[in-house]
Structures are given as C-alpha cells and as structure tokens.
Chains A and B, each alone.
Chain A
Amino acid sequence: MRSKRFEKLAERPINRETFIKPWPEVGLIALDSPLDPSPSLKIEAGVVIEMDGVRREEFDLLDHFIARHALNLDVAERVMNRPSHEIARMLVDINVPRAAILELASGCTPAKLVDIVQQMNVLEMMMGLAKMRARRTPANQAHVTNRKENPALLAADAAEAALRGFAEIETTVGVTRYAPLNALAILVGSQTGRGGVLTQCAVEEATNLRLGFKGLTSYSETLSVYGTEDTYVDGDDTPWSKAFLGAAYASRGVKTRYTSGTGAAALMGHSEGKSMLYLEARCLLVTRGAGSQGTQNGSISCIALPESLPGGVRTVLAENLIAMMLGLEVASGNDALASHSEMRKSAKLMLQFIPGTDFITSGYGAIPRYDNMFGGGNFDVTELDDWYVLQRDMQVDGGLVPVREEEVLRVRERGARAIQAVFDAFGFPPIAEAEIETAITAYNSEDIPDRDKVADIQAAQRLLDGPLTAIEVVKVLQEAGFHDVAANVLEMQRQRVIGDYLQPSAIFGDNFQVLSVLTDPNDYQGPGTGYRVEGKRWSVLQNLPQAWDPRTYLESLGDVEDGTWLEEIGSAEQGDQPEVVVALGPAFGVEIDHTIGGLDHRDVLSAMLQGIHDEGVPARVVRIHHTSDCAFIGHAGAQLSGSGIAIGIQSKGTTVIHQRNLAPLENLELFPQAPNLDLDTYRQIGRNAARYAMGKPTAPVPVRIDNTARLRLIVQTTLMHLRETQQIERDRPPSELHVLRE
C-alpha cells in the first residue's frame, strides 16, 4: 500500500538528497567520533610532549606544526584544565569580551576546541559568532566566472558585483591557461564598479602566486589545509610549504586566507576514523599557526557530505565558530550547492547570515548558476532580490546594497569597454563591439559570441610570461580615457605597498578606507553594542527598487468626482415590505471606484441588483456612513430591510449576506476573498439574498478559493480599507440612494 502523501513527500526536492547513518571508522561522522581523542596537553621545559592523547614520538606533520606554532603555551595549561562548559558559557556571556575568549582559545588543543563548542546548541553558537567575528562590519564575497571565459562578460559581471557591494570577487577558469586573462578582466571590471574591491583568481598555487606578483590579484584563498597527514600530502603540500606560501604572498603585498572544511579528509579517504569537526579543528590550528590572517571554512565544496549526516549543519556552524575563536577572519561557506531544497538552503544560510560573519558567503554567484565555474554555486544572480529582501526583513546587513537597473547597465558597459581598451592596447585578440553589446544585457554566456580560444590562450600566456603587470594596465586605462578605473587600479597597487590590508579581516570600505581588526574590531557585547544596521546604511538597505510609496496608491484609487451615479435622496427609512437592502460602504462608488479585484463598482452593484430582481424581489440601496466594517455594514442594512435581509459590501468588494436577528459578527454567507469574486458571483449573491428574503431554501454561493490572494493583496487591501475608513462619519445615519443608469 502506498500513501499518496508519502508519494508526494518522496517527490520533494529534499528527498533528492542523500542521508546516511554515521560510520565513524571511515570518518563519516560529523562530530563526536568514538575515535576522537580527549583533550590533553603535556608540556616539559617549554616543549609539548603530548597533545590530545598523542605522545610527541607519534606526532604527525600536523601535530608537530600545531605544537610548535599554534599553541600559546603561556595560557595552555591553565585553559586545558578549565572545564569546557565554562568556556562555552563565556562565549555566550555578553559580559565576557571577545578578547578574553581569544586569549583562552589560543591555548586550546584541537580536541579542547571541539569539546568547548560541543557544549553549545546552534543558537548559542550563533551568539558566539556575533561576538567572535573579527571585523565589526560584515561583508560578502562574489563568484564571477563564465563558461566561455569571455573577458567582456567577466568585466561586466565584476563591475556589477562591485556595484552591488561585494567586498571581494573571485574568479576561476575552465581551462587553466586562461587564468591571467580572467584575473585581468575581473580586476578591471571590479575597479569600474567600485574602487577597493579585492579580487583573486583561484588556480593552482604556483600560477596563483605569479598572478599576485603581477598585481593582477590582491588576495588569495586557495591555500588549502587538510586535517590529516595523508590528505595533506595528497594535496601536495605540508603545513610548512603552505606557511611559506602564505609568507610569499604577503611579501608581495597580497592578502591571503587559508581554506579548509569539514568532510574533506573523509572524502579523500584519509579520515583516520576521526570526526569531521575534530579534523577541521586541526586544520584551523594549522591555519592559525601558519600565521594566516583568516580562513575560508564552513565545509565549502564538501558541504553535502556533512549535510548527509546527523548534526552536519550544526557542525559546520561549529567550525566557523572555532575559526573565529582563533581570531581568524572567516569567509563562512554558503558557497557550494548545499541542497536541492530551498527551505534547507535558506535555513542553513541563516546560521551565518543572522549573526554576521566576515564574509557571509565565501562566494555568492553574481552570475547565473550555468556560468558558475566553482561547481554551480549555492546562490546565484537570480536570487539576489531574495537576499535583499532578507536583509530588509531582518534589518541584517548581508553585505549587499540594492541597485537600480540603469546604474547596473551603465557600469556593465563601462567595465566591458575598459577591458576592451586594455586588450586593444596590449595587442590581445580584440573584443568585438558585439561582445560589448551582448555583455551589457546578457543573462549568461550563451548570449555572448564565441571568441578565438587559441588566440586568447596565447595572449594569456604572453601576459603571464611577459613583462606586463598591473602598472601597464593603469597606464593603458588612463590613456584610453578610463581615468577613474585607472585611478582605482593604481590605488590597489599603492595599497599593496602600504600593506594595511594584510592585517586580519581587512576589506576596503569607501575611498579605500581599510576595515580590519585593527581599524574596525568587532566590539559586540550584547544589545546596543557591536555592528548595528542603522542610519544611512539602514536607509540604503531598505530602499529596494521594488518598494513603492503607499501614498501614491491612495491617489490612484480615484477621487470619483462623478460619483453622482449614486444620488443621495435622504435618510434611509425602515422598510416594511419584502425586499433586499444593499448596504454600501462609505467610500463605495465615491472615493473608490473599483474593487480590489479590479471590478468597476457600477458593474458590481448592477450584478447584485440584477440577481435580486431575477428572483422577483425588490431591492433598495443605502449607504452606511458610521462604519467601514463589512459585518457592521451588512448588519446595519439588515436593520433597515423590510425582510430583514441585506447585502453589505465594502468598497474593496468584501461582501456579506446579513439578517436582522443575527449578531453583527454572525452572517448567512460571508465572501471574505474579494479578489476572487467576479460579476457572476455578485449576481449569485443577489439571488441568494432574495431567496433568503422569501424564506426559500438556499444553497450557499460557490466561491473560488485562492489562498494566495491575501499574500498578494494585503497591502492594497489595507490601503483601500484605510481610504474607506477615512470616510466614516460616526454620527451620520444611513442614506437612501438612487442609482442613476447611464
């Protein structure tokens, strides 16, 4: 037997995911593996001789590195002896400042860090994020890539992403050899949209470093670290080679951030039976020990693996928190496709979005998913408005600012033309006018003409191997008349010389102002402290292009000066004949001339009168002045009706059939969904009222049910009702109306 409901459930997107039971021995366990060690630390003569149950003789690469570089031995013994729940409580205690936690965490072994966060539920971890995030001002990072590696489209997309407020933009390649051109395109594009956006091109380390040397990129987050020795070596690195690489980037004024995340070691088959969170804690201590200012973590490309396991999403939040406890800048995931279910994706996002992180996503697709060369991306350009609305709903800063279409088109064109000028000056394969034109308005790279890939790759190789650098880019931009873009690219080079953005959590705010732990430290300590969305920023975030001024709607309702089709002929009298009274709301046909469903009031009234007449019953029309409430309008009409039956109707079209002896809020039939009522329904309402007046057995009027009507139209309903309510004259008795035919 099959339940139809279970069949429906089975078809839901959530059931396209894979859910498994934990298997600790192979690392398929999010946290708390039976093979995870208990926290321990033994120090002799300033040397760590045992850590998390492993003696120095058995240390692997990571243990050695952590013991030598990551732990602050001055506080380690004190912290390790302190109960984990005490530290966990300090994390959510608003009276304990961030600095106090940083000091304690600096002496924690991986197992101790895990033990602390395991005491916390997700809400407490979110509190921890709000306090421990390094930078006060949250930000966001974009992905800009396309399948055709088209430079005009890359530049246009980077320009748009910069305009939308992304603080960092990363690109990557389908074909590795394109990397120099892609790096160049997003550099030029980003500096067209907003000066100070940091850019990177994610490729193999050696190439990446060379792009940084040339000033074509300003940050790098490709420095992967892994939680076990075997995965590290499989990744063709060691903690020492990676730390050296970090220093190499810094030596050229390039910001770096390591990357790691739960699930990687299990995926690569070398988990040693440890939980994902424990291995990630090791990664994070290696990251800190290497002197990285930050990390991209939150499972990243492995996200679906922890999500297949119980507690996976909590674990991913826990890894963000551990990174922040270590003082690291955190680009907190939400970048790789995390779910088929929109509900699950959004719920997961909220764990970082609400408390705020240094980068809420470590790559939001500022392009369609089709063109996302980072494996598709979790969110894409079609979901930007959802993001804006969430910011506005919760008064949360997700790092993006609403933009106007004309402004987007302007910066896209300028970005595309700027890269065209650079290609031209460098003698690279020309960017055709058709590429520019399509790049401005493109949805994705299918809208763009193809380029000569061989020639582009040759140009890319020349750029990488030859003498050209960002300085020549500045020069040719200036000479081609792109003075503002040239100035911004130049300023990025000057900032490399200054090096202030090598400090933790650095981004550039307006006018290249560095926001980092040194200049903009998170000072959250409970309500009224820390980063608040207020003042000018709140005005910007709430001012969506889609938001309209409700005052204009009231004006559009029509001040029906020719409302003379309803002639008032004195006070309404008590009837004594069989009849149906049609009681109109105070604004009906006067201040308002149509229902919420767009029906002309004349047609609505005619339909009801026609229905009454069809049953051979006389009708009388009155206007109620003392109330705008549908039930009371109907009830007042019923008191006047000779039969005791009345139809009450508000201007927005909500209708009731009332009877004199009923209480005001009772009724014979109520039609609350005015948008779903058509003229046939109003005629049927008239007929039924007439039948009630004659005491005939009557079946209720069938009505169409559309449960989205309220969602769609509640604002308009409110405004119409407001207008009607403004017409109330409390002390005025009902008027008798004469309906003039045209």
Chain B
Amino acid sequence: MPNNTVHTASGRTLDELDIEAIRAGELTAKDFCISGETLHRQADAAEAAGYWQLAENLRRAAELAGISNQEVLDIYNALRPSRSTYDELITLADRLENDLHAPLTAAFVREAAEVYQERGILRNSYETISSEACSCR
C-alpha cells in the first residue's frame, strides 16, 4: 500500500511518524494505531486475492480499531465459554451495533449467542461470574 495514502487512526500521515517527532514528544502510542480505513483497504486487497474470510476478519478488525483496549478485552472474555448469558450477549451485540458502530461484530456476537444457546455453553443466570473472568484489568 503506498505510504502517502496511509493515515493512522489519529489522522497522521506516515511521513509524520519519524524519530524527531518521537523525541520531541509529539507522538504517542495512539499515533501508531492502524486506522479502520486502512483495515478496510487491506480487507479489500485480501478479498480480491480470494481470501474472503480474512477480509471479513479485517472488516471486523476495522470496527474494533476504534474501541478501547479494555473494551476489546472485555468482549473477548464475554465470548469465552460459559461467561455470558444469552441476554448478556444480545445486549453486548446491541451495544456494538448502536453505540460502537460495529455492526459486523454485533452480528457475529448474535450468531455466537444463538449457537452457544443451542450447544449449552452459556452461563446460566444463577451462576456467578468466576473470579478468573473478572481478573482482566
């Protein structure tokens, strides 16, 4: 991908990401985050090469690019076996769709909720969340 067309999630161009700017304290880790736009373009490239599942993954990634580290970790843990009730997953999906602008991820979570329910790997509402599941900072 040509360098002059890439922007970071913070809107900088690649050319701005140089050592002098780092030394001057002008750049932070946020300036080195891949943007959703770039991930969409990588998805298009993957799809054109026949990698449609990778493309879907990169499109979900594009949605997650704007979501905080902590929230991403929380969603991951919610999707692990027996961590969430059906309703919790549906609530999560709604939030992804409506608040976090992540419709593809939302659909993915809804699909998981349906399958988890069918396969009996949801947390029953009477179970408390294990301490391990809460340990994520």
Task: List chain A positions with a Cβ less than 8 A from chain B.
Answer: 60-61, 64-65, 68-70, 72, 99, 102-103, 106, 205-206, 209-210, 213-215, 229, 232-233, 236-238, 240-241, 243-253, 288-293, 327, 465, 469-471, 474-475, 478-479, 483, 486-487, 490, 493-494, 496-500, 502-504, 517-518
Contacts and interface: CB of A to CB of B under 8 A. Distances in A.
B23 A475 contact: yes
A233 B80 CA distance: 8
22 contacts: A61-B119, A61-B121, A68-B111, A69-B56, A229-B119, A238-B79, A241-B81, A243-B57, A243-B60, A251-B34, A251-B39, A253-B33, A327-B51, A471-B28, A497-B34, A497-B38, A499-B42, A503-B45, A504-B46, A504-B54, A517-B51, A518-B45
B75 interface: yes
User: Which of B35, B56, B105, B115 has the most chain A CB atoms closer than 10 A to its own CB?
Assistant: B115
B76 A241 contact: yes
Secondary structure dominating the interface of B: helix
A494 B8 CA distance: 9
A65 B53 CA distance: 12
Interface string B57-96: 1101111110101001101110111100000000000000
A695 to B, nearest CB: 87
Contact of B22 (A68, A70, A288, A474): A474
A245 to B, nearest CB: 5
B19 A486 contact: yes
B28 to A, nearest CB: 7
A233 B53 contact: no
B50 A99 contact: yes
Given A247-B57, A251-B34, A253-B34, A240 B111 contact: yes
Interface of B: 1, 3, 6, 8, 14, 17-19, 22-23, 27-29, 31-35, 38-39, 42, 45-46, 49-58, 60-65, 67, 69, 72-73, 75-77, 79-82, 105, 108-109, 111-112, 115-116, 118-119, 121, 136-137
A478 B31 CA distance: 18
A464 B78 CA distance: 22
A233 B67 CA distance: 27
A499 to B, nearest CB: 5
A518 B44 CA distance: 12
Nearest to A327: B51
B75 A244 contact: yes
Contacts of A102: 50
Given A215-B32, A252-B33, A493-B32, A471 B27 contact: yes
Contacts of A244: 60, 75-76, 79, 105, 108-109
B9 to A, nearest CB: 8
B58 A502 contact: yes
B20 to A, nearest CB: 9
Contacts of A496: 32-34
Contacts of A486: 19
Contact of A206 (B6, B23, B73): B73
Nearest to A213: B69
B70 to A, nearest CB: 10
B19 A487 contact: yes
B42 A497 contact: no
Given A64-B115, A253-B34, 20 more contacts: A60-B119, A64-B118, A64-B119, A65-B115, A99-B50, A209-B72, A236-B80, A238-B116, A248-B75, A250-B57, A252-B34, A253-B33, A289-B53, A290-B57, A291-B58, A470-B32, A475-B23, A493-B17, A497-B14, A504-B49
B29 A215 contact: yes
A247 B105 contact: yes
A504 B51 contact: yes
- Nearest 10 A-B pairs (CB), nearest first? A291-B57, A250-B61, A251-B64, A240-B112, A241-B79, A247-B60, A253-B34, A251-B61, A469-B29, A291-B53
A248 B27 contact: no
A488 to B, nearest CB: 11
Nearest to A250: B61
Contacts, number: 194
Nearest to A467: B29
Contacts of A289: 53
B108 A243 contact: yes
Contacts of A497: 6, 8, 14, 17, 32-35, 38
A251 B14 contact: no
B38 to A, nearest CB: 5
A292 B54 contact: yes
A241 B100 CA distance: 18
A468 to B, nearest CB: 9
Contacts of A210: 69, 73
A682 B30 CA distance: 82
Given A475-B23, A493-B32, A499 B54 contact: no
Nearest to B8: A497
A585 B40 CA distance: 78
B123 to A, nearest CB: 13
Given A478-B23, A497-B32, A502 B42 contact: yes
Contacts of A243: 57, 60, 108
Contact of B115 (A70, A240, A253, A288): A240
A205 B76 contact: yes
Given A214-B29, A471-B27, A500-B1, A248 B76 contact: yes
Contact of B79 (A64, A232, A240, A498): A240
A515 to B, nearest CB: 14
Contacts of A498: 1, 3, 6, 14, 34, 38
B65 A251 contact: yes
A248 B137 contact: no
Given A240-B79, A244-B76, A499-B1, A490 B14 contact: no
A293 B23 contact: no
Contacts of B28: 471
A503 B48 CA distance: 12
B36 to A, nearest CB: 8
Contacts of A70: 53
Given A471-B27, A498-B3, A247 B64 contact: yes
A513 B99 CA distance: 39
A238 B84 CA distance: 13
Contacts of A502: 39, 42, 58
Contacts of A245: 76
A497 B7 CA distance: 8
User: Which of B28, B50, B57, B73 has the most chain A CB atoms closer than 10 A to its own CB?
Assistant: B57
Contacts of B54: 291-293, 503-504
Given A209-B76, A497-B6, A471 B19 contact: no
A422 to B, nearest CB: 14
Nearest to B78: A241
A103 B51 CA distance: 10
Nearest to A468: B29
